[in-house]
Amino acid sequence: MQLYKNQELKIYNSLTSKKEVFKPINEGYIGMYVCGPTVYSNVHLGNVRTFMSFDMVFRYFKHLGYKVRYVRNITDAGHLENDADEGEDRIAKKARIEQIEPMEVVQMYTVDFHNTLNKFNFLPPSIEPTATGHIIEQIEIIKEILDKGLAYEVNGSVYFDVHKFNKTHNYGKLSGRNLEDLIHNTRTLDGQSDKKNPQDFALWKKAEPQHIMRWPSPWSDGFPGWHLECTAMSTKYLGEQFDIHGGGMDLKFPHHECEIAQAEACNNQSPVNVWMHANMLTLNSQKMAKSTGNNILPNEIFTGKNDKLSKPFSPSVTRFFMMQAHYRSILDFSSVAIEASERGFNKLMDAINTLSKLEVSKNTTNFNISSWKQSCYDAMNDDFNTPILIAELFSAVKFINQVKDEKATISQEDFDILTSTLNVFVFDVLGLQNVSDNDASGSNKLSDTVELLINMRAEARANKDFALSDKIRDELADIGIQLKDGKDGTTFTTN
RNA sequence: GGCGUCUUGGCCGAGUGGCUAGGCAGAGGUCUGCAAAACCUUCUACAGCGGUUCGAAUCCGCUAGACGCCUCCA
């Protein structure tokens, strides 16, 4: 189904600071590159938010019927701690500290990254290339840039000549900076003696003797500069020009700016049509960061083991919490905020579970299904506005409850549209998971047992033996099983 | 210091030059043996000051505050 032919999608382009109607280079196909994690520690919830934003984007593209090649890299080398001469590879540093092999660090945190994203129900990208797997490609790009005269070699290291590049190109067009300002305002850092100018950045760094991650190159045994890997891998898998490049807001400058410079230096054309930047997740209204310790780990969310949390929260609740904010807005994490989301999430899931049990009528009252459906698309078409989409979903929730209470009716045709549309947006696009599905699949013995107790309690209530019925109810509650008395009998939830 | 973003009701969080965001909480109600849950209804708003306009929370300017980037960062 090529839904994209009927839906006009607008995306905010960081390059132009405007929402633009999205037109892929090749109709029906999308090339999308997203900067992945540096695998030197566990991903925190802030990292997860960025990747989740693009997971949602990927999901919506797929739903619209596009064939998407989604490339998300793993940075497993070449990521300088700083740009100074004694710059050290982050992975290598961690390996030395823990006395293990660099690849061991990479393996450990790559596995953790995948496990974490799986828990959050991420779709895997089409290609997940690693920096160390593309050293040759990176060396080739450096050669190309040297040939063009836009880089220079000093003591076995190669630097990009930003000043020279800027004479024929526009360095700073993505982040709205100009070179003059940068020259006057760059903070002074130690040990930049090799560079002609502080704005220059490393393409290749010569490895010091103690440096354990190194590769041979025409210039030295060393390692590639951080910005280079993304240029190498995006070019290799998506071409010299592709549709979408995404990443966290904090990568806009200098990382993405440098990517543009490298690609333009090589190919003389702007590599990316639409730049998308996902905003930060904050904690205590400050950016989550590995370095400062101001962060929270996914596992701490799932277990509740963090003094900032009042209780555990499921991956889907966390996902719902994030989807309630627009991807370009800063979102502040707090226990109170996610608790509120959890209640809303449960309400949504309850309604979806109710839906399948509704009785259909001859016609539909109180609700215009087809215009509601288009409203859902309109929300997503407006730069992936998931908060608006969720608001639309809740108007369907309200309607479902009205039908349940026999205050409205729904026709078979509308019932089918409502069901399929809800499934599309809740599960396919937002990527949420229905908790009751898990219960049903895994714990039949539990539910049979509780059913037994529910029946016993019903008998006791019928006999007006309220002491016994309340005992059953309260003691189940102590175990964490809550009984819910409804019109059509008693159901239960676990927590 | 430079560049940029943001400031919405008790909380979270959308959006728009005139028309209901939504969720949570609060209040009232329905249901119930009682409760819980669920559902229904409902109140509180656009940082401050000026300007543009028939009309601005929405556009412009100033002020205050917060945050991000400028160094590794999702």
Whole-complex ipTM: 0.94
Residue A359 neighbours by CB distance under 10 Å: 10
Q: Tell me: the pLDDT tens digits for A322-373? A: 999 999 999 999 999 999 999 999 999 999 989 988 889 889 888 999 999 9
pLDDT at A2: 92
CA distance A179 to A160: 14
Q: Tell me: the pLDDT tens digits for A47-58? A: 999 999 999 999
What DSSP element (H or E) covers A202?
A: strand A201-206
Closest residue by Cα to residue A341 from A359, A315, A363, A365:
A315
Q: What angle do CA A36, A339, A383 make, to 5 degrees?
A: 45
Place of tokens 């003691």: A475
The pLDDT of residue A24 is above 90: yes
Token representation of residue A464: 């007006």
- What number is the average pLDDT over the span A169-184? 87
The crossing angle, in degrees rounded to 10, of helices A315-323 and A335-355 is 100
User: A59 CA, B24 C1': separation in Å?
Assistant: 28
pLDDT at A94: 78
pLDDT at A422: 96
Q: Tell me: the pLDDT tens digits for A84-94? A: 445 667 777 77
The crossing angle, in degrees rounded to 10, of helices A257-267 and A226-238 is 60
Cβ A309 vs Cβ A335: under 8 Å? yes
Cβ A379 vs Cβ A389: under 8 Å? yes
Residue nearest to nucleotide B24 (CA to C1'): A340
Q: What angle do CA A111, A285, A72 make, to 5 degrees?
A: 30
- What number is the average pLDDT over the span A432-450? 69
- What number is the average pLDDT over the span A142-159? 95
Q: Which residues pair with residue A127 across a beta bridge? A: A71
Confidence of residue A82 (pLDDT cuts 50, 70, 90): very low
User: A395 CA, B41 C1': separation in Å?
Assistant: 15
CA distance A216 to A207: 10
Report the side by side order of strands in the sheet with A286-287: A286-287, A281-283, A331-333
Structural domains in chain A, CATH included, are 3-281 (3.40.50.620), 296-436 (1.10.730), 443-494 (no CATH)
Q: Tell me: the pLDDT tens digits for A463-478? A: 899 999 999 998 888 8
Nearest nucleotide, C1' to the C-alpha of A325?
A: B13
Nearest nucleotide, C1' to the C-alpha of A277?
A: B74
The pLDDT of residue A242 is above 60: yes
- Alpha-carbon radius of gyration of chain A: 27
Nearest nucleotide, C1' to the C-alpha of A339?
A: B24
Q: Which residues pair with residue A334 across a beta bridge? A: none
Task: Provide the percentage of residues in chain A whose pLDDT is more than 90.
Answer: 68
**Cβ contacts of A207 within 8 Å, gap of 6 or more:** A213, A214, A220, A221, A222, A223
Protein-proximal nucleotides of chain B (any atom < 7 Å from a CB):
1-6, 11-15, 21-25, 31-41, 66-74
Residue nearest to nucleotide B34 (CA to C1'): A466
pLDDT at A85: 44
CA distance A390 to A490: 29
CA distance A305 to A189: 39
> Phi, psi at residue A490, to the nearest 5°?
-105, 135
- What number is the average pLDDT over the span A243-264? 95
Q: Tell me: the pLDDT tens digits for A98-119? A: 677 888 889 999 999 999 999 9
- What number is the average pLDDT over the span A209-227? 90
Token representation of residue A36: 């992945």
Omega of the bond leading into A216 within 30 degrees of 0 (cis) = no
pLDDT at A443: 60
pLDDT at A193: 66
Average pLDDT, chain A: 90
Amino acid at A133: G
Nearest nucleotide, C1' to the C-alpha of A395?
A: B22
pLDDT at A441: 43
Burial class of residue A454, CB neighbours in 10 A (0-12, 13-18, 19+): buried
pLDDT at A436: 57
pLDDT at A95: 73
